Amino acid sequence: MQNRVVVELASVPQNVAVARLLAAMVAAQANFTVAEVDEIKLAVSEAVTNAVIHGYGSQPEHVVRLEVTLFDNRLEVLVEDQGRGIDDIALAMQPAVSSDPDRMGLGFCFMESHMDSLEVESTPGRGTRVRMTKKAGSEHLARATGS
Ligand SMILES: Nc1ncnc2c1ncn2[C@@H]1O[C@H](COP(=O)(O)OP(=O)(O)OP(=O)(O)O)[C@@H](O)[C@H]1O
Ligand SMILES: [Mg+2]
């Protein structure tokens, strides 16, 4: 392990930006490209937004736990809330599925496409844990090999 930052964020929308910048600053310590750091920022924003809006129903007095770890050239991000949880994770992760008719239902799709791995664990009434990883420089590799 090269670095780890763990923070507890109040469940207010302002902390989406705080989480995003924190993840970006840790990512900047590895060989991520600017484009990759932007993807990490977007994925973290989506996960923290979900915790605030869906997990806690936009109530500000709760805690979102963010853990960002850098292992050599791989970043791991955990976003955890102790909110309402998700009944059907597979369904919630499908594109255009949202419990809110005013939302696009694309957050999990963005997380999945911008990161190398995405795992969601959730217990209704207990909370949700999102784990995402991304390896630095994999975009270069994909381009070079045409894969
Ligand atoms: N932390 C969470 N706690 C409770 N429910 C969640 C959580 N994260 C996601 N969900 C559920 O999963 C659904 C899909 O999430 P996703 O981020 O893909 O879409 P969305 O948040 O509804 O819309 P968008 O992200 O496009 O604004 C949500 O509508 C919500 O019902
Ligand atoms: Mg969302």
In this predicted model, what pLDDT tens digit does every residue of 85-114 receive, in sequence order?
999 999 999 999 999 999 999 999 999 999
pLDDT at 147 over 80: no
Please report, for residues 48, 58, 118, 130, the alpha-carbon distance to residue 45 in angstroms, rounded to integers and kept in the order given: 5, 15, 14, 12
* 116: nearest Cα among 131, 106, 104, 103: 131
Angle, alpha carbons 13-23-2 (nearest 5°): 150
Q: Which two tokens stand for residue 53?
A: 């809006």
Nearest CA to ligand 1 atom 20: 105
- Asked if residue 124 lies in contact with residue 87, where contact means CB atoms within 8 angstroms, the answer is yes
- Asked if residue 41 lies in contact with residue 24, where contact means CB atoms within 8 angstroms, the answer is yes
Residues 94, 97, 99, 105, Cα dihedral to 10°: 90
Spacing, Cα 39 to ligand 2 middle (Å): 15
Distance between CA atoms of residues 9 and 81, nearest Å: 10
Q: In this predicted model, what pLDDT tens digit does every residue of 16-63 receive, in sequence order? A: 999 999 999 999 999 999 999 999 999 999 999 999 999 999 999 999
pLDDT at 81 over 70: yes
Spacing, Cα 126 to ligand 2 middle (Å): 18
Compute φ and ψ for 92, nearest 5 degrees. -60, -30
Determine whether the shortest distance from the Cβ of 81 to ligand 1 is under 6 A. yes
The ligand whose atoms approach the alpha carbon of 54 most closely is: 1
The pTM of this model reads: 0.95
Spacing, Cα 98 to ligand 1 middle (Å): 6
Which domains are seen in the chain, by residue range? 3-145 (3.30.565.10)
Atom of ligand 1 nearest to the CA of 120: 8
The ligand whose atoms approach the alpha carbon of 125 most closely is: 1
Determine whether the shortest distance from the Cβ of 50 to ligand 1 is under 6 A. yes
**Per-residue pLDDT, 84:** 98
pLDDT level of residue 144 (50, 70, 90 thresholds): low
